[in-house]
Amino acid sequence: MSAPRVLFIGGTGTISSEASELAVRQGLDVTLLNRGLSSLHTVPAGARALQADMRDADSVRDALGRLEFDIVVDFVAFSTAHVQQDIDLFSGRIGQYVFISSASAYQKPPARLPITESTPLRNPFWQYSRDKIACEDLLVTAYRDTGFPTTIVRPSHTYDAASIPLAGGWTAIDRLRRGVPIVLHGDGTSLWVLTHSRDFAKGFVGLLGNPQAIGESVHITSDEVLTWTQIAEALATAAGVEAKIVHVTSDVLAAADPDQSGGHLGDRSHSVIFDNSKVKSLVPGYVATTPFALGAREIIEWHDEHPLHQVVDPRLNELYDRLVAAAG
């Protein structure tokens, strides 16, 4: 029997790169289709790489040619137009289509915890999340009406060594190391779940070609629950310093930095705990095994080894200075 043929649209991002590598290691026939622009993650050995602009259907058709696939995964669809293009391209030609949605689509604020896949989808604070919900609605309709073989995957806050989960990224780490306070939303006690991309990959690859996953929505997260203060302290410890933190309400943060208001008000300000029973039933043995204390050390070590990625944003620095001063 030949290996399942899998097309990853994207495949070299924070969430997808580990999944691409694991899929190859598990013997899948993997093709990556993207613009070939990633400088952080490379195409895994053993995978085929194609280049195209996914927003141009003709470019995609030219790149794919006569290639056929059993499974298509779209990591970079963010609007109904993107998803409709996939439906038009792949209807009747594949056995499974996997859409990468987002756990931010779940009801905000959540009426109850833990969050399960049956938690309502509603996020009035963040357009990104509303767009993902609209994509899901389109796919559910396509599955019901025509049998388009959809699987919806909702990652939560997934990271790897190159991504820093604090707002501000390296700017926050630089402030920690300079002994300057960083800013956290609320009082720092809201609960959060961080999932390393290699843990996400274990659950995700187990869904590929899994007939029980067709027509289903599944989130894949760690079972470790942390406060935002604990997250900041873990990064500070990994950076060899003590965390100095000033707490600012989410409303004040959103007003001060409107570009990030969706993430503040529609995501990070709400406590989340996820019930991972469903992915564990579909992928027996799935468990996230990377605690954030280890992930934080990997993040700092990677950035210390890659000084070009130690980018400090002067605008954010000035904003944080003002917020710290205003907090007294």
pLDDT in tens, 181-227: 999 999 989 999 999 999 999 999 999 999 999 999 999 999 999 99
**Closest of 275, 282, 252, 247 to residue 264, by C-alpha:** 252
What band does 37 get if pLDDT is binned at 50, 70 and 90?
A: low
The yes-or-no verdict on residue 40 having pLDDT over 80 is: no
pLDDT digits (tens, 9 = 90+) for 100-130: 999 999 999 999 999 999 999 999 999 999 9
Spatial distance between the Cα atoms of 221 and 151, rounded to a whole number of angstroms: 16
Strand partners, 247: 184
Q: Return the pLDDT at 204.
A: 98
| 328 has a pLDDT exceeding 80 | no
Q: Which residue has the higher pLDDT, 1 or 9?
A: 9
What is the pTM for the complete model shown? 0.95
Which band of pLDDT confidence, cut at 50, 70 and 90, is reported for residue 252?
Answer: very high
- Give the angle 133-136-140 at the CA atoms, nearest 5°: 140
Q: In angstroms, what CA-CA distances link 112 with 106, 226, 274, 297?
A: 11, 18, 11, 33
Axis-axis angle for helices 292-305, 228-238 (nearest 10): 40
pLDDT at 35 over 90: no
Q: Is 90 exceeded by the pLDDT of residue 296?
A: yes
pLDDT, the chain, mean: 94
| Residue 153, C-beta contacts closer than 8 angstroms, at least 6 positions apart | 98, 99, 100, 101, 204, 207, 217, 218, 219, 220
Please state, in angstroms and rounded to a whole number, the distance separating the CA atoms of residues 173 and 235: 8
What is the arithmetic mean of pLDDT over 256-262? 86
Q: Say which residue, 264 or 247, is predicted with more confidence.
A: 247
pLDDT grade, residue 258 (50/70/90)? Answer: confident
User: Confidence band (pLDDT; 50, 70, 90) for 39?
Assistant: low
Higher pLDDT, 297 or 54: 297
**Res 264 pLDDT > 90:** no
**pLDDT band at residue 147, thresholds of 50, 70 and 90?**
very high
Report pLDDT for 60: 87
Average pLDDT over residues 60-69: 90
